[in-house]
Structure 1
Amino acid sequence: MGLVFDIKRFAVHDGPGIRTTVFLKGCPLTCGWCHNPEGKNPHIELSWRKERCTGCGSCQDACPNNAIHYRDRPELNKTLCDLCGACVDVCPSEALELVGTSMTEVQVLDYIKKDIPFYDQSRGGATFSGGEPLAQPEFLYSLLKACKKQEIHTTVDTCGYAPQEDLLKITEYTDLFLYDIKAVSDKIHLRETGVSNRIILQNLGILAPDKVIARIPFIPGVNDSIKEIEELANLISSHRIDRVTLLPYHRGGVEKAKRLVAVESVVFEPPSSDTIQKALAVLQDYGLKAQVGG
Structure 2
Amino acid sequence: MEEERGLVFLIQRYSVQDGPGLRTTIFMKGCPLRCQWCQNPESLSLHPDLMTHDTKCMLLGKCADACPLGAITIDRKSRKIDRAKCDLCFHCVDTCPTKALSKVGEYMTVAEVMAEIERDELFYRRSGGGVTVSGGEPLLQWQFVHRLLEACKQRHLHTALDTCGYAQWPILEKVLEHVDLVLYDIKHIDPELHKKATGKSNQRILRNLHLIPPHKKVWLRLPLIPGFNDSRENLTELGKLGQEIGVEKVSILPYHKLAEEKYRQLGMQRKMSPLKPPTKRQLQKVQPLIESFGLQVTIGS
Report the TM-score range of the alignment, normalised by the length of the smaller protein. Answer: over 0.9
1:166-216 per-position Cα deviation (integer Å, ceiling 9, x unaligned):
100011100000000010100110011110101100110111355100011
TM-score where L is the length of structure 1:
0.95
Shift of 1:263: 4.2
The alignment partner of 1:46 has SS state of strand
- Count of equivalent residues: 293
Aligned to 2:28: 24
AA aligned to 1:249 is: Y
Aligned to 2:255: 249
Cα 1:70–1:200, aligned 2, differ >3 Å: closer, same or farther?
farther
Tell me which of 127, 132, 137 is aligned to 2:132.
127
Identity of aligned residues (%): 45
Distance 1:17 1:208 in 2: 24
- Give the partner amino acid of 2:297: A
TM-score using structure 2 length: 0.93
Letter in 1 for 2:296: K
- 1:1-294 to structure 2, matched below 5 A, reads 1-70=5-74, 72-78=78-84, 80-209=85-214, 210-264=216-270, 266=272, 267-294=274-301
> Which SS does the other structure have where 2:259 is aligned?
helix
In structure 1, how many angstroms separate the alpha carbons of the residues matched to 2:150 and 2:161? 13
SS at match of 2:107: strand
On the 8 A contact 2:72/2:79 being kept in 1, the answer is no
Between 1:29-38 and 1:123-132, the stretch displaced more is: 29-38
Indicate conservation of the 8 Å contact 1:243/1:288, yes or no: yes
Going from structure 1 to structure 2, the CA distance change for 1:73 and 1:202 (only over 3 Å counts) comes to farther
Residues 134 and 163 in structure 2, CA contact (< 8 A), matched pair in contact too: yes
Task: Flag the 1:41–1:70 CA change in 2: closer, same or farther, 3 A.
Answer: farther
Tell me how far apart the structure 2 counterparts of residues 74 and 135 of structure 1 sit (CA, whole Å). Answer: 33
Cα contact 1:124–1:153 (8 A) shared by 2: yes
Distance 1:238 1:70, change over 3 A: farther
Mapped contact 2:188–2:194 kept (Cα < 8 A): yes
Offset of residue 101 of structure 1? 0.2
Compute the RMSD of aligned alpha carbons: 1.6
SS at match of 2:94: helix
Q: Is the 8 A contact 2:36 2:270 kept in 1?
A: no
Contact persistence 1:74–1:261 (CA under 8 A)? no
Code of the aligned partner of 1:140: V
Distance 2:181 2:60 in 1: 48
1:25-77 deviation per Cα after TM superposition (whole angstroms, max 9, x unaligned): 00011112222111111111100012222334332222012233457543233
User: How many angstroms apart in 2 are the aligned matches of 1:207 and 1:76?
Assistant: 45
**1:15–1:242 CA distance, 2 compared to 1 (3 A):** closer
1: CA distance between counterparts of 2:283 and 2:152? 36
User: What are the superposed Cα offsets for residues 230-276 of structure 1, whole Å, 9 maximum, x if unpaired?
Assistant: 12111221222241011110112112222113444753110110101
